[in-house]
């Protein structure tokens, strides 16, 4: 099978398309024929081994998992002997490392769920990473109905998901993004949209229960005046915002959000799609052979929503 592989850490050019053996499912796994995947900021960090301490988990000198990618959408072609929930022919999506490949094995009890009928493979591939990240971090922030939240970086994969998840949970959402994506944020349900190039939400006098930085480009010092007395500042990017874990040790008003991928959350996202309260946002679509070009684009920091790889 074809797969996007990197056998050393480095720039996008370390990626190449190679023929590798097709995996075989264990008794508790399903084998998915991947029709679409994505290129995410997390993929880029894993490929570069940044932050450096990530090598303790990914491999000190070279990647333990040479096949890149996290999100998949496709069809099940085989199931393990213990699997009862799925059958060959089922359309599924979810999270599994090594997903920039034509086939991937996934635990049936892991972050995998049936694709809603209304979604194509390309759309389904763009749901799980940003959606699960938003669900898990807003859960950590204990967001509740009626609270006021700022989503800073509301046009990225996690940001577009966070706007929709927060609205679904009954929060009042202020989306902060660039001038080209204001209409997008509004269409996703944001109560207010702020163009960060022309307006500083933190200096407006309004206060919020949660400031959620989905891109790691703000700071607690700059945001704290916009927080309610018991308000919380949370960021996703501890690699860039390296000071946040230290602030979190001494202040209850600062928290580093940790993305977690659970089956229940993938199923929740599928249910939201079916209910019409969640939709994936796709910026560009590339073929698997164009993975280097796709990765370069993701690393510009200018993508809107998700970058998809079409493996069909």
115 and 12 within one domain: yes
The CATH number given to whatever domain includes residue 98 is 3.90.180.10
284 and 215 within one domain: no
199 and 92 within one domain: no
Number of domains in the chain: 2
d(C-alpha 151, C-alpha 118), whole Å: 27
Q: Check residue 178 and give its pLDDT.
A: 96
> Which range marks the domain in which residue 183 is found?
130-256
114 and 6 within one domain: yes
Q: Check residue 248 and give its pLDDT.
A: 53
Mean pLDDT by 10 residues, the chain (312 residues): 97 98 98 98 92 81 95 98 98 98 98 98 98 97 97 97 98 97 98 96 95 89 91 75 51 83 98 98 98 97 96 92
d(C-alpha 312, C-alpha 309), whole Å: 9
293 and 252 within one domain: no
193 and 226 within one domain: yes
- SS3 at position 285: strand
115 and 54 within one domain: yes
177 and 295 within one domain: no
120 and 16 within one domain: yes
47 within a domain of the structure (yes/no):
yes
Q: Check residue 240 and give its pLDDT.
A: 45
Structure tokens belonging to residue 72: 């998949």
304 within a domain of the structure (yes/no):
yes
Per the listing, tokens 């999100």 go with 71
DSSP state of 85: S
81 within a domain of the structure (yes/no):
yes
Question: From residue 273, how far is each of 131, 168, 188, 263, 280 by CA, in Å?
Answer: 11, 11, 13, 16, 9
pTM of the model as a whole? 0.94
270 within a domain of the structure (yes/no):
no
290 and 198 within one domain: no
Q: Check residue 50 and give its pLDDT.
A: 78
263 within a domain of the structure (yes/no):
no
Upper half-sphere CA count for residue 203 (Cβ side, 13 Å): 5
296 and 247 within one domain: no
Q: Check residue 239 and give its pLDDT.
A: 44
272 within a domain of the structure (yes/no):
no
The CATH number given to whatever domain includes residue 165 is 3.40.50.720
- The residue from 241, 256, 271 where one domain ends is 256
187 within a domain of the structure (yes/no):
yes
94 and 77 within one domain: yes
229 within a domain of the structure (yes/no):
yes
What string of H, E and C letters represents the secondary structure of 176-233? EECHHHHHHHHHCCCCEEEECCCCCHHHCCCCEEEEEECCCCCCHHHHHHHEEEEEEE
């Amino acid at each position: 099978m074809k797969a996007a592989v990197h056998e050393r850490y480095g720039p996008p050019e370390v990626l190449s398309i190679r023929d590798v053996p097709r995996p075989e499912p264990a008794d508790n796994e399903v084998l998915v024929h991947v029709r679409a995947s994505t290129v995410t900021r997390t993929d880029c960090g894993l490929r570069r081994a940044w932050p450096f301490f990530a090598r303790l988990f990914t491999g000190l000198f070279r990647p333990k998992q040479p096949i890149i990618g996290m999100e998949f959408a496709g069809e099940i072609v085989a199931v393990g002997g213990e699997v009862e929930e799925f059958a060959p022919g089922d359309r599924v999506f979810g999270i599994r490392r090594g997903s920039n490949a034509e086939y991937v094995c996934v635990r049936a009890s892991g972050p995998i769920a049936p694709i809603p009928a209304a979604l194509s493979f390309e759309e389904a591939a763009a749901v799980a990473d940003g959606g699960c990240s938003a669900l898990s971090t807003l859960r950590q922030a204990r967001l509740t109905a009626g609270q006021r939240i700022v989503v800073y970086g509301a046009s990225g994969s996690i940001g577009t998901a966070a706007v929709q998840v927060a609205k679904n949970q009954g929060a009042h959402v202020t989306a902060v993004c660039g001038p080209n994506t204001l209409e997008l944020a509004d269409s996703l349900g944001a109560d207010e949209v702020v163009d960060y190039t022309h307006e500083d939400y933190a200096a407006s006098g309004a206060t919020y229960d949660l400031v959620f930085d989905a891109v790691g480009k703000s700071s607690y010092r700059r945001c704290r005046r916009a927080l309610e007395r018991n308000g919380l500042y949370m960021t996703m990017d501890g690699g860039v915002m390296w000071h946040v874990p230290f602030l979190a040790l001494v202040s209850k008003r600062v928290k580093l959000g940790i993305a977690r991928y659970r089956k229940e959350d993938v199923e929740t996202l599928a249910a939201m799609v079916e209910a019409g309260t969640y939709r994936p946002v796709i910026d560009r679509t590339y073929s698997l052979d164009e993975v280097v070009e796709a990765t370069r684009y993701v690393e510009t920091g200018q993508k809107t929503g998700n970058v998809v790889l079409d493996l069909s």
